[in-house]
Each structure stands twice: as C-alpha cells, then as structure tokens.
Amino acid sequence: MARFFFLLSGEHSSLPAAEVVGACEALGHTFKPVDVLDQVLVGETSAEPAVLAERLAMSWMIGFHLFTSPAFKREILDSLFSSDFLEIFNPRKTFAITVKRIKRSAQHLQTPELEKWLAEKISREVKFKTDLRNPEFELVFVLTGESCVGGVKVAEVDRKRFTARRPSRRPAFHPSTLTPVLARCMVNLARTPPGGIFLDPFCGVGGILIEAGLVGAIPVGIDIKPEMVEGAKKNLEAFGIRDYRLEVGDARKLGGMEVDAIATDPPYGRQATTAGSEVWDLYRESLHSMTEVLKPGRFLCITAPADIRETGKEAGLEVVDYHEQKVHRSLIRCFHVFRKPGSF
C-alpha cells in the first residue's frame, strides 16, 4: 500500500475525508488513515490515484506523501531530503514547486518566497532543474495549521466537470435536486461499485442517478410522481447514460430486486411532497423497504432533516458514518451512512 495525501475541498468539515474512504472501499480497496489535518487527509491505500481522482468530487488533488513536518523553512527542506524523495524520483529531472496555504495557516511564511527558496535549494543540492511549463514532476507543499505536508502530485480532480452538470444546465430541472458534488459524494459514501446495481428510490429528476451512472454503476430510479421519472429519463439520456431502469413507484413498497448500493435524498417535509405521508413515517417505512432490497454487507447513504440513526438501526442497519450540513438558518441536512449486516 502506498501513502497518499488528499487536498480536500473546504466545502464541509468532514464529508470530503469520508468521501475518500468511501471511494477507496467502493473500488474494493481499504483506506488506512494516517493523519487528518485541516483540508488534508493522509492515508494508505492500494487504490489507483488516477481512478480515485475520476471518482472524487470533494478533493482537489492527490499526492504521493513524502513527509509531514512543522511549517518552518528549514524543517520543510530537511524533511524533504530525509524522505524517500531521491530514491523514488531519479536525479536530474525537471520539476515545479507549488506551495498551497490552507486558510490562514503559517502566516510567517510567504508562499512565493518559499517556492523560490525551495526551488533554489533543491536545484543546488540534487541538480534538478525547474521547469514551470512542462515539469516531469510537481512537488506540492501544503501549509495546514502548524504543519507542512509535502509530496509529489500524482492526480488532479477535474472539478469543472461537476459545474458542467449543475441542475440549471440539465434538460429537466427541479429545485429540490442536490448539487452534482453532493450527489457524487453520496454515491461514494454508499460505496457504489462499478458495474453494480445502484438504487435511488426517491429519485426526483435523477441528480444522484446521473452520478451513479457516471461511475459505471447501473442506476435504478423510482419516484412516486410520473413527471419526475420522465425528467430523470431526459437527464440520464443527456449525460450519455443508456443502461438504466426507471419506474413510477413507492419507496415504501420496494421489492423484486436486489441492489449493490443505495443513495437517496427523500423529501424533507417542506417544499417537496411526501405524497400524503408524515415525514418520519416515510423515513421509517422506506428504510425498512430499502433494507430488504439491499444485499448483505452493502451500504446505504440517506439524507434527512434530522438525525435518523436510531430509525436506521430499527430497520436492521449498522451505522457507519454521520455528518451534518447547515443548509440555512432553520434547515440542517444530515447525511447517514448505514451498512446492512452480513457479507456479499
């Protein structure tokens, strides 16, 4: 297993790191955390970084981890030279240096000056040449809190792809749809395996289904409203997803299927309809129904306007993970990750 660092987007305090773990497990690998710093996660996995970068939504880049040191010039340089850097990357290569600062970390260091100073020292010591346009490798130093995490960039997440799929750019729009970044994060938290059957039983116009289809799963969408199912069809087709199944149906009465992952964003009992059901009855009944169709050992990621971990346990699920996100003053979105006991 190799040790990597993930530069996490700062859009949530815990979801980006949880997404990394979920994506590794979805791909059939483990992730062993080594260090959790502000917007940086260090850990060991045998997952391929380029494949991970294709899946992740809440990371900026993945680097091969060389060291974590105190955020002082000398310590950074000494740690770099006492790392495996020279053995792994043969000398006389061209390189570039990027220093990234998380929030207001290490204010005593000026990033352009540090980049220049490190570049000079490295060039002098090992005769590497800097080439900012077309470097053979890029050294990245992330200043986070009191620490500096250093390594070599191995993959970059193209976050622009998610902007290109934002709800207003899809043929069928509905205001209740999640952003593609959150939808992809949920697909990863649900450990959706490539080629597996993925279910969203409250699919709306298919925001989560699109992300599941794009990671190579077969999306199955159910919604109680025919117009939503029609919208999901248009949206899936618009993103080139051809292998899918959609049905008008009730999430409380699933059956006749076995699925490998579930991620869903049911109505919160506000603007969105709950089809005449009390919102908590809807969660309780649909969680029982989802548990029935989920294969043992597989995962379910569900949002709710409050903590429903106990409801999940009553349905026979194990709690894996829980995160809260403030949507506005009077609404919290809670992300739950459950696992059905057993093994597949």
Ligand X SMILES: C[S@@+](CC[C@H](N)C(=O)[O-])C[C@H]1O[C@@H](n2cnc3c(N)ncnc32)[C@H](O)[C@@H]1O
Q: Which stretches of the chain bind ligand X, using CB under 6 A?
A: 174, 176-178, 201-208, 222-225, 228, 250-252, 265-267, 272-275
Beta-carbon contacts of 169 under 8 Å, excluding residues fewer than 6 positions away, are none
Paired tokens of 111: 């990033």
Residue placing its CB nearer to ligand X in the complex, 142 or 304: 304
Residue placing its CB nearer to ligand X in the complex, 219 or 267: 267
Provide, rounded to whole angstroms, the least separation between the CB of residue 335 and ligand X. 13
Going by C-alpha positions, the residue among 259, 333, 334 that lies closest to residue 300 is 259
Paired tokens of 246: 């959609």
Residue placing its CB nearer to ligand X in the complex, 134 or 271: 271
Provide, rounded to whole angstroms, the least separation between the CB of residue 310 and ligand X. 21
Q: How far apart are CA 150 and CA 257, in angstroms?
A: 47
Provide, rounded to whole angstroms, the least separation between the CB of residue 89 and ligand X. 44
Residue placing its CB nearer to ligand X in the complex, 20 or 302: 302
Check if the beta carbon of residue 246 is closer than 8 Å to that of residue 221: yes
Backbone phi, psi, residue 111, to 5°: -65, -45
Residue placing its CB nearer to ligand X in the complex, 154 or 183: 183
Q: How far apart are CA 18 and CA 129, in angstroms?
A: 38
Q: How far apart are CA 303 and CA 307, in angstroms?
A: 9
Paired tokens of 265: 């964003």
Residue placing its CB nearer to ligand X in the complex, 47 or 172: 172
Provide, rounded to whole angstroms, the least separation between the CB of residue 220 and ligand X. 13
Backbone phi, psi, residue 130, to 5°: -85, 140
Residue in the block written with tokens 């030279």:
81
Provide, rounded to whole angstroms, the least separation between the CB of residue 6 and ligand X. 26
Provide, rounded to whole angstroms, the least separation between the CB of residue 290 and ligand X. 11
Residue placing its CB nearer to ligand X in the complex, 22 or 267: 267
Residue 95 backbone class (left: φ over 0; alpha: ψ -120 to 50; beta: rest): beta
- Which runs of E-coded beta strand occur in 275-342? 294-304, 318-328, 331-339
Question: Which SS3 state, helix, strand or coil, does residue 284 take?
Answer: helix
Backbone phi, psi, residue 3, to 5°: -100, 125
Q: Provide the sign of the torsion angle of the four alpha carbons 108, 110, 111, 117, taken in this order.
A: negative
Provide, rounded to whole angstroms, the least separation between the CB of residue 325 and ligand X. 15
End-to-end CA distance of the chain: 24
Residue placing its CB nearer to ligand X in the complex, 17 or 254: 254
Provide, rounded to whole angstroms, the least separation between the CB of residue 250 and ligand X. 4
Going by C-alpha positions, the residue among 38, 52, 25 that lies closest to residue 215 is 52
Residue placing its CB nearer to ligand X in the complex, 63 or 201: 201
Provide, rounded to whole angstroms, the least separation between the CB of residue 9 and ligand X. 20
Check if the beta carbon of residue 194 is closer than 8 Å to that of residue 215: yes
